[in-house]
Amino acid sequence: MTDMQTTKPLLEVRNLKRHFPVDDGFFVQSQKSVKAVDGVDLAIAPGEALGLVGESGCGKSTLGRNIVRLDKPTAGEIRFEGVDIAPFGDRELKPYRRQIQIIFQNPFSSLNPRLTVGNMLMEPLMLHGEGDRAKRRQRALELLELVGLGADHFDRYPHEFSGGQRQRLGIARALALRPKLIVCDEPVSALDVSIQSQIINLLRDLQEEFQLSYLFISHDLSVVEHMCDRVAVMYLGRIVEIASAKALYEKTFHPYTRALLSALPIPDPTVQTEEIILEGSVPSPVNPPPGCHFSTRCPFATPSCSESTPELREFEPGHFVRCSRLEEIL
């Protein structure tokens, strides 16, 4: 694990917010908004993999899209190597685009069906003015080999590839400009078990080889545990717990994280999980519960929990938890 105290972070997100206005209808100026990301702080060190887990609608993908600046945050800072890129426009962003790349979940919709693999891989190089045509071709072939495909795939179209191979292409494209940070948004969720492990191993090998940093977004806690140095758990736009992967899985503090872990079916019929079944479903992010967002489903909630928003506190060194009653419920 990378020591966050001594290394300067590659990426630092401070109090990031992304609110989407809700359409109330024609002519009506909307007062309401979906608070998809509502005050997130996190940092990623060079060479570190940070996992981001949570259920659908918790804002994890929105956060990822804001970090690669496919979306513009409502407020807050995104510091990449110390420079706040949150307010940047397209022109100012261009040098950062090559440093921060993204891999998407669905390998069937994220590749342009009309570009051959070769052209797809050379396009980013061309846009950023890298090398001449021969050099770019050389680099594309190199990329194919890196992700376990061959030169014979260069002139093919995406539809000729299986799901796992397409995800390899998505990874090759993300690597083309030698980025420092890759946001992986559910990169293995659409894949079959036997293919999933191939892609996970590939991502880890590449990380080691090129000292990449990952923000690894997933709903699958076992994949995240396997991939990441540290893990952040999100619930309704906020981080509720963040710790090293080891600490999070061994000493789970936040009641939501505990419920998430206990809900995970373990592939071993001799293991019995402690059942913490949460009632109901995640409340609407348009109108989240006051105070602690989790208070409506929390088995330990008291009336005071819905009165004030708990802070993310450092409960043990490097282990932050957002719960005001933590001392009482442990």
Q: Assess contact for 108 and 48: CB atoms under 8 A.
A: no
Q: Which is nearer to other proteins, 100 or 227 (by Cβ)?
A: 227
Bridging pattern class, strands 238-244 and 230-235: antiparallel
Residue of 263, 300, 319, 329 interacting with other proteins (CB under 8 A): 263
Smallest distance from other proteins to CB 42, Å: 19
270 binds other proteins (CB under 8 A): yes
Residue of 129, 267, 303, 317 interacting with other proteins (CB under 8 A): 267
Cross-strand pairs, 320: 242, 314
Which amino acid, residue 103? I
106-128: b (≥16 Cβ within 10 Å) or e: ebeebbeeeebbbbbbbbbbeee
16 binds other proteins (CB under 8 A): no
Burial class (CB in 10 A: 0-12, 13-18, 19+), 221: buried
Residue of 260, 298, 321, 323 interacting with other proteins (CB under 8 A): 260
Identify residues 18-77 at the interface with other proteins (CB under 8 A).
Answer: 55-56
249 binds other proteins (CB under 8 A): yes
120 binds other proteins (CB under 8 A): no
Residue 172, phi then psi, degrees to nearest 5: -60, -40
196 binds other proteins (CB under 8 A): yes
Using CB under 8 A as the binding criterion, the count of chain residues that bind other proteins stands at 50
Residue of 22, 126, 151, 266 interacting with other proteins (CB under 8 A): 266
Cα dihedral 201→106→217→199 (10° resolution): 0
Write out the residues near other proteins by the rule CB under 8 A. 55-56, 162, 164, 192-198, 200-201, 204, 219, 221-223, 225-229, 245-246, 249-250, 252, 258-275, 277-278, 281-282
